[in-house]
Amino acid sequence: MALMGANLGRRIWQRTMIRLACHDGLRTRVESSDRLVALAGRFVAGPDVATAQRKAEEFAQAGIHASIYYLGEYVDSEALVEENVKNIIAAIEHFSQTNLDWFISVDPTQIGYSISDELGWTNAQRIGAAMANAPEGRYIMVDMEDASYVDKTIELYERLVGSNIPAGITLQTYLFRTEDDFKRLAAQGATIRMVKGAFVASRRIAYTRKRDIDDAYLRLTLLALSPGMKEAGLRPIFATHDDRILDILTLVAEANGWQPGEYEIEMLLGVREPLQRQLAGQQHMVRVYMPFGEAWWPYSIRRVGENPANVRFVLRALLGKR
Ligand SMILES: Cc1cc2nc3c(=O)[nH]c(=O)nc-3n(C[C@H](O)[C@H](O)[C@H](O)COP(=O)(O)OP(=O)(O)OC[C@H]3O[C@@H](n4cnc5c(N)ncnc54)[C@H](O)[C@@H]3O)c2cc1C
């Protein structure tokens, strides 16, 4: 009963934070508030690509790689989509001039998929063309948004790969369908980033209890690290901060002969940084998701949705404390 209450409370909290993230009026006010900008400082690398590069260089000194992300999700105006696409292309050009090891994360809705599939695909090709001049090994990581975008997102990934544009795909283990999607894409030797899922999905299509979500992640982790998946050429990226999963995955990877670099561990900027450094120090390949840009509110408040303890950073920011 207590567990049921806790799960319900978690879903209500998460849903409320997602509503706050999507509230345009609030967003405009918050993003121009000097006090709340301190909240962005926790989860976001900075307002522009130069600050993202500095942050990535700081992490590189600890042997941690970067996954860069230009902030600007769920936009429904063509002008904002265009601004996003220009900034993503500029970030690719900028990071291509550095010696850093990076990939760039892209949300389908930030490049036009919330307006039309045609616009989204046209912009994806523009971003793909910019990747042609990036150093070997760099690629586009397609992020996964709410359940209504899963088909479009997988199709986008497959079209990118089919057009010889280097790409990976994020799959959310809380969705029932993911095991099938995972098996199909893994068999093609895909780069798959596995996340639990940051959205609130209906119990018709997703696990909703925390324990079931965690177990689903673990099941797919074991599958991803099985010898057959290594043979298929899968490159799994475990995007999680969960100690239990990290302990198991590092042991299983070693037992099954996976070398660091054949799989990766990815975490969010501002979340469990001592653990990130510890894992990198143990020679695991660790990457940090580094968002940058001015539109920091929806992203930062979703981090509060994932972990209510983060509300203390909002309060501290409101009180003007760092
Ligand atoms: C690199 C990366 C990319 C992602 N991309 C996507 C995506 O494309 N689509 C999507 O739906 N989701 C994405 N997510 C979010 C993901 O789905 C989860 O919501 C989030 O990572 C928390 O899940 P967890 O596996 O860390 O486990 P949890 O069980 O939620 O957390 C485990 C522990 O980690 C710590 N922790 C976790 N999250 C936070 C936080 N925000 N702040 C402070 N501590 C925290 C806590 O100590 C917690 O006890 C991404 C996550 C990462 C790391």
Distances 59 to 94, 216, 291, 297, 303 between C-alpha atoms, Å: 17, 31, 14, 23, 20
- For the segment 218-237, what is each residue's pLDDT rounded down to a tens digit? 999 999 999 999 999 999 99
pLDDT of 73 strictly over 60: yes
Parallel/antiparallel/unpaired status of strands 235-239 and 264-268: parallel
pLDDT at position 305 is: 74
Q: What domains appear along the chain, each with residue ranges and CATH number?
A: 1-44+298-322 (no CATH), 46-295 (3.20.20.220)
Distance 122 CA to ligand 1 centre (A): 30
pLDDT at position 75 is: 82
pLDDT of 166 strictly over 80: yes
pTM above 0.75, yes or no: yes
Structure tokens belonging to residue 101: 């090891």
Mutation probe of ligand 1 site: the residue of 148, 150, 307, 310 with most atoms within 8 A of C-beta: 307
Under a CB-based contact definition with an 8 Å cutoff, are residues 178 and 192 in contact?
A: no
- For the segment 286-304, what is each residue's pLDDT rounded down to a tens digit? 999 999 998 877 787 777 7
How far apart CA 296 and CA 132 sit, in angstroms, is 29
pLDDT at position 70 is: 96
Catalytic one among 10, 29, 42, 143?
143
Mutation probe of ligand 1 site: the residue of 64, 194, 242 with most atoms within 8 A of C-beta: 242
3-class DSSP state of 255: helix
26 vs 59 pLDDT, higher one? 59
Distance 241 CA to ligand 1 centre (A): 6
Distance 297 CA to ligand 1 centre (A): 17
* CA-nearest residue, atom 19 of ligand 1: 198
Distance 240 CA to ligand 1 centre (A): 6
Known active-site residue 143: yes
Known active-site residue 35: no
